[in-house]
Each structure stands twice: as C-alpha cells, then as structure tokens.
Amino acid sequence: MGLWISSVTPLFIAAQTALIPVTGTVRDADSGMPLSAAIVTLESLRRTILTDEYGRYSFEAPPGTEHVTVQRFGYAPQSFDALIPESGTLEINVELRREPIMLAPIEVRAPVSIRGLDRPVRAVAFPDRSVSQAAMYQHPLSPEPDAFRALGGGEVTLDPEAPSGLHIRGGATDQVGYLLDGVPVFSPYHSGGTFSAWNADALSSVDLLAASPLHAAPDALSGVVSANTRSPGRRFQTRGSVSAMQARATIDGPIGRAGAGYLASVSSAFPGLAIHKEEPSHLRGDNLDWLAKLESPLLGGRIRLTGYESKNEIDVAAVAEPSDTAAVDLSRSTLGWNSRSLGGEWSRALGARTSFMLRAWTATGDASTAWIGPDSLEHLASSRRDDGIVAMVGFDALGGATTIGARFQEVESAYSLTPASDTEAALSYYDVMPMSTYFVEHERPVAANVALGVSLANTLAMGEVHYSPSGRVSWSASPTLLVSGTAARRQQFGQSLRNPESIVSNIFPVDLYVGAGRSGIPVATSDIGILALEHRPKAWLRLGAQAYLRDFESLALVAPYTAEPYATDGFVVGSGASHGVSLEAGISREHYGFLASYAYQSVEYRYPAGEYAPGYGSTHTFQAGIVLSPSSSYSVRLGFEGIVGRRTTAALGSVEWEACNILDGGCEFAGNQSEWTEALGGTGLPAYYRLDLGVRRQWDVSLGGREGRLAVFGTATNLLARMNVLTVSVDPATGERSNVDMIPPSPLVVGVDWRF
C-alpha cells in the first residue's frame, strides 16, 4: 500500500503543474494579412487548433519543449520547437509564404449540344423547336454551322444537296416567313454549299414557330423562322471561319459603361469562290451578307436596332456541252437577288407582370435575271417592299397570361417579265396592299396538369376581314410526358411565282413574291391539326412524335403552265392536301450526342386539269447523326440521310449539274429545261442516301494577352460513293431520257475557325 502511494504521488504533483497560455497570429509573409483557418498542430499533445478570422490562435501547454506545426492550403508549412516557460505567457507569431500546390487536373465538360436538349435561350413549346448556337455548331448532319440545316429533320424537310428553302409539314418554301430580331427578311439563303445567309456566329438561337400563334408574321402560311442575335459581350471579342464553302467574321463588345453594346457580322458563302475551273459550265459570281445590331437602355426599357443585307449574283452557261467555248462565254444566263432590312424595337416592363413592346421596320427584296431559254432571252425584275409597325402589351388576366396587339403594314410588290421577242407578250403584276391586323392570345391552366392556349388574329386587307383562329391544349400526363393538340387556320396575302419544280431552283432559290389584290393573286389559306407527344425519361434523353393533317386553298401554281424557272405566261389557282407523321430521338451526354428522325408524308396539289405530287413531297425521310467527343479538344461526327419515294417531272432540254466540292472543283450548272414531256411528278426517282464523316480538332491559345480558341475541321461527304439522281432530262433531238446526277463521290469541306 505504501509503495503504491509513493509511486502515484509524483504524477499527482505533475498534474497540478500550471499550464502556460500560448498565443499568436498567423499572417501572409508577403502582404502581412492575417490568415484564417490556418492549422496549428501540437504533436506531443495531439491537439489541433484553427486560427480565427483575424488569424489568431491560443492554447495551453505544460512547461517544456513542444513541437509545433503551422500549415494552410496554398502555403508552405512551418515546423519549429517552442520552449514553454515555467510561468507567464508565450506569444509566437508565424508568417507563411505562398506555395502553389499542383493538383491532379479536373476536367468539367458540358454535354454535347443536341437540338431539343440544348437549353435554348428562349423556351419554345413542342411541337415547335428552337436551336441554340451550340447545337448549330454540333449538328451532326451539317459540315459547318448552318441555322437552317440545323432545323431540318422530321416534319421539316430540305431538298438534298442544294436546298431552295424549308418545307414545314408539307408546305412550300414561299409559305415560310423569316424574322431577324423580329424584323422581316426576304429569301435569306444561298444557292448550294452554305444554305443560310445568317452567320451562325452572330446568332444566339433560331426558333421555328409553326404551331404557336403567329402574331409576329400573320401572313406566313406554314410557319416562321425567327433568329435571335447574340447579346454583345462585356469586352471586345471576335470569332470567324474560313473554309472551302464560306468566310465569315463577327465582332461585338460594349459601348461605354451604361449597358449599351454592338454586334457586327460579315460573311461570304459562294461555294465556287475557293475553287474555280476554267470551264463554261462552272458557276461564277459572288455574294456578301452583313448584319449589325446596337442595343442600349432607354427610358426605363431597352432599345435594339438591327440592320441586315444580303447580295447574291451568279451566272451560268446557257447551253450544256457546247461545241464552241468562245461562243458560250457570251451566252450566259445571269441571276441575282438582294435583301435589305432595318428595324428597331423598344421594350419595357411596366410592372411585375405587365410588359410593352413597340417594333417598326422597313424591308425590301428584289431579284433580276437575264435568262437564255431555248428560243429567246427573258428579262425578269421582281421586287417587294414591306413597311410596318407592331405594338404588343402582355399582362395577367382571366387566370392566365394574355397578349393583345396591333400590326399595321403596307406591302408593295412588282413582277415584270420581258421576252426578247416582240411577238411574245410581257407578263406584269403590280400591287400595293395596306393591311392592319389585330390579335389577342391567352394561355391559362384549366385543370390539373392541363393548359389551354387560344388566339385570334383579324386582318383587314382589300376591304375584307380575314380571320385566323388557333387553339392548343397541352396535358402533362406525367413529369416526363407531354401530350398536345393544335388546330389553326392561317392566311397568306401574297405568293411566289418561282417554279419550284424547275431544276433551276437548285441555283435560284429566291421567292418571287406578288401580293394579293389587283394582281389577281389569291389569298391562300391553310387549316392544320397537329397531335404531338414529347417524352423525356431522362435529363439526357428526349423522344418526340407527332402527326398532322393539313389542307390548302387558293394556291398560285406555276408548274402546270411551264417548266421555266418562273411564271412566263401566268399561273393556275389550285388547292392541296398533306398529312404525315414524324419521330425524333435525341441523346446528349458528356462524350457523345445523337440525333435521329424519321418522317412519312403525303403531299398532293390539285388544279382544274389534274393533280401532282411536288418534288419536295418525298414519302419517307431518314436522318441520323452522332457526335463523338473523346476529349474537349477533339470530336468526330458521322451523319446519314436517306430519302425514299422521290418524284420528278422529265423535261425537255439538256442540263449539266455537279454539286460544289474542292476535290475536282465542282459547282457546275449549264443548260435549261423548257417544257414538260409528261404529267407533273410522273417519274419516280431512285432512293437517295448519303453518309458523311467529319473531324474537328481545337486548341486553347493565347494571342496578345487574350485567351481564345483555334480549330481546324474537315468533312468528307458521300462516303458510300452513291451517285444520287437529281432529275431526269429528255434530249430535244433524240427524245432520249437521261439521269442528271447530283454529286460526285466524296466531296470535301475543310476549314479553320477561331474565337478570341
């Protein structure tokens, strides 16, 4: 017992030894600033203390030597032995020096942008669609970003190789309206190669509005393509590209510090510009597109001014397979079309749930040709001018969102065809038509998971009132499934006298618009019903399906009269009907994106002497494409397109055609077809299919102290070496029929783009 007490006593005495307070501050050795959350470790006592927001720490320890370590993320640690006295206090201040810490790289990547899964700038309700700029760049079926090609697929079809416009649910190209920041634009496309005349670098998104109320363009029968330009950045930046198909450049930046900014873009996309062969059949010419925007705060709201212009001129050999090259050089047909638009918009929030918008514009478009036909030289001059203003107020009413507005415009159009021969009659149309449109739209929930949208537009034109009602019901059957039904009537107060069945449409896509009124052009109408389903079982997976039924009345049809590129002696008034179904699937993952669509359609035009299926009314259309992105700097895309059930009309005349490519300097067109040799749509064409492969490699670079991106890309098309058929031509001397082939094997597109 005594032994046990004698051994414990020293320990008890030691426990009663006074603990000495130790304090201090940890600071940055360079700036002297205190460092919070620094770790102070006492190794023998197995204690850890964190410095407070002022860099201070404190602890108590028995006298003696104590090993102390001080460390903080981003700084070199310090270790030392502290001699703690028998009495009093001890202050130890520590300075840490910064030391970079090498970490393993962490790569954060956004999913590949695929249409329908790319979170566009503006929400557009299905079955309409919106495509962001990123989805245009990564569209698997386009070698370069193209605003219109990115909209194609399913119920939206384009002519293969050389589109002349968009066909929406069985409609013709002249039934589509185009808006750039809400300003009307006419025929904004090129012939062959790059389709859209809008520089994708300058756009934030492109919306296709065909089922929604069309107050922005009440005279578009099939739908509206509405492009939205990018908001200017907070610092100057530039981006652009040079390739075998086009050259483009865009700049934007701020103006002052009040929130104003600018954006300017210029591009040229003539496909024969890079490679030119000294052959009579090679297309010659050029084009130039530009757009500019200024925006700024004004009177509690925001004002935006937008200007746009596109100029196109080409000339082609009038005769295919000439015997005398010198003579043919003097015998070339010329084609040109220009479009100019200028508009301004002021918008302001008038309250928490009330907004106001005022927009005004002037837009012009003109086209001219000197076309050498089999017998004579024809001169065409066509023009259109549209001046207008629209005001809209949006507010909450009747348990939902309501928009009311009025639109006033005056449309002037002229069409004049003058033959070289005095024995032939000239064809001329001229019309000035004022129109006023009043519209109201209302959307509201009517039951659990059910919403109703209705609209009515009344247009006063030519002394008559034309009504355009529409309605839409949507049902959220589950959090991932949306079902909707749409019914609408559309009116169009002018139509094009271009002949879309002519082979010349491949190089002359412009709409030759003539307004309804004294010209005799009728007001076209269309009634349509759409049933659509959209299923999103996963955030990265989207499935869509829709069916539609549509009829047309009072259509101005040129093809029943002539095989020439445009109306030469009038038109015939007819009607039409279309129906179809379409399916679409999209996947957007970190390392790959997938987009596929299928469409079945039936399109028929009727006129007093017969009926026919237009060339764009192919029965089955397939598209599928995948974008593989193994790393953030490298991607591969593979795209397939197939068309079954194509039809054409054999015409008299010798024609030469070759799509644009840089392998053998294609881009050729020569000859003309003067008259049909069979009933319209009387010849079935072989199935069309094409497989493309593209590769893109990009680098992060620094130039002048600015970080940017530089990329090279290339696409080989038609890898299966399929010689697709464009149309059928009949030799006027022998009557022999021959195929006009579309494209040579594996044309190539290469280029470089940048962003700083």
Tokens of 585: 């699937």
Collapsing DSSP states into helix, strand and coil, what is residue 55? coil
> In degrees to the nearest 10, what's the CA dihedral of 123, 128, 134, 140?
160
Q: How many CB atoms lie within 10 A of CB 534?
A: 20
pLDDT band at residue 747, thresholds of 50, 70 and 90? Answer: low
- Across 696-712, average pLDDT: 84
What is the percent of the chain where pLDDT is above 90? 52
> What pLDDT shows up at residue 278?
64
Q: Please choose, from the candidates 124, 163, 510, 565, the residue with its C-alpha nearest in 3D space to the C-alpha of residue 378.
A: 565
Does 136 score more than 50 pLDDT?
Answer: yes
- Across 189-193, average pLDDT: 76
Is beta strand 94-96 parallel, antiparallel or unpaired with respect to 20-28?
Answer: parallel
Query: What whole-number distance in Å separates Cα of residue 168 and Cα of residue 208?
Result: 9
pLDDT band at residue 655, thresholds of 50, 70 and 90? Answer: confident
pLDDT band at residue 398, thresholds of 50, 70 and 90? Answer: confident
> pLDDT tens, 441-462?
999 999 889 999 999 999 999 8
Does 348 score more than 70 pLDDT?
Answer: yes
Query: What whole-number distance in Å separates Cα of residue 397 and Cα of residue 459?
Result: 24
In single-letter form, the type of residue at position 77 comes to: P
> What pLDDT shows up at residue 14?
42
> What pLDDT shows up at residue 2?
42
User: Which domains does the chain show, CATH number per domain?
Assistant: 18-96 (2.60.40.1120), 129-755 (2.40.170.20)
Q: Please choose, from the candidates 16, 38, 14, 13, the residue with its C-alpha nearest in 3D space to the C-alpha of residue 28.
A: 38
Lowest mean pLDDT of 1-5, 22-26, 571-575, 616-620, name the range. 1-5
Collapsing DSSP states into helix, strand and coil, what is residue 717? coil
Going by the DSSP 8-state scheme, the letter that residue 503 receives in this structure is G
Asked if 206 and 151 count as a contact pair (C-beta separation under 8 A), the reply is yes
> What pLDDT shows up at residue 661?
61
Query: What whole-number distance in Å separates Cα of residue 254 and Cα of residue 170?
Result: 44
Collapsing DSSP states into helix, strand and coil, what is residue 588? strand
Does 742 score more than 80 pLDDT?
Answer: no
- Across 559-563, average pLDDT: 90
Q: Which residue would you say has higher pLDDT here, 613 or 750?
A: 613
Asked if 26 and 72 count as a contact pair (C-beta separation under 8 A), the reply is yes
What is the percent of the chain where pLDDT is above 70? 89
Going by the DSSP 8-state scheme, the letter that residue 271 receives in this structure is T
Does 10 score more than 70 pLDDT?
Answer: no
Lowest mean pLDDT of 135-139, 306-310, 424-428, 509-513, name the range. 424-428
> Percentages helix, strand, coil for the chain, rounded to the nearest 5?
5, 60, 35
| Beta-bridge partner residues of 409 | 388, 435
- Across 247-269, average pLDDT: 91
> pLDDT tens, 99-113?
877 666 666 667 888
Asked if 460 and 418 count as a contact pair (C-beta separation under 8 A), the reply is no
pLDDT band at residue 660, thresholds of 50, 70 and 90? Answer: low
> pLDDT tens, 508-556?
899 999 999 888 899 999 999 999 999 999 999 999 999 999 999 999 9
| Total residues found in the chain within this entry | 756
> What pLDDT shows up at residue 277?
57
In single-letter form, the type of residue at position 542 comes to: R
Query: What whole-number distance in Å separates Cα of residue 477 and Cα of residue 605?
Result: 38
Collapsing DSSP states into helix, strand and coil, what is residue 755? strand
Asked if 569 and 427 count as a contact pair (C-beta separation under 8 A), the reply is yes
Asked if 111 and 536 count as a contact pair (C-beta separation under 8 A), the reply is no
Tokens of 196: 């859209």
Dihedral over Cα of 397, 398, 399, 402: its sign: negative
Asked if 740 and 724 count as a contact pair (C-beta separation under 8 A), the reply is no
> pLDDT tens, 25-73?
999 988 888 999 899 998 887 888 899 888 999 888 888 888 899 999 8
* Mean per-residue pLDDT over the chain, rounded: 86
pLDDT winner (highest mean) among 92-101, 102-111, 642-651, 698-707: 642-651
> What pLDDT shows up at residue 9?
43
pLDDT band at residue 631, thresholds of 50, 70 and 90? Answer: confident
> pLDDT tens, 289-304?
999 999 999 999 999 9
Please state whether the peptide bond connecting residue 127 to the residue before it is cis, i.e. omega within 30 degrees of 0.
yes
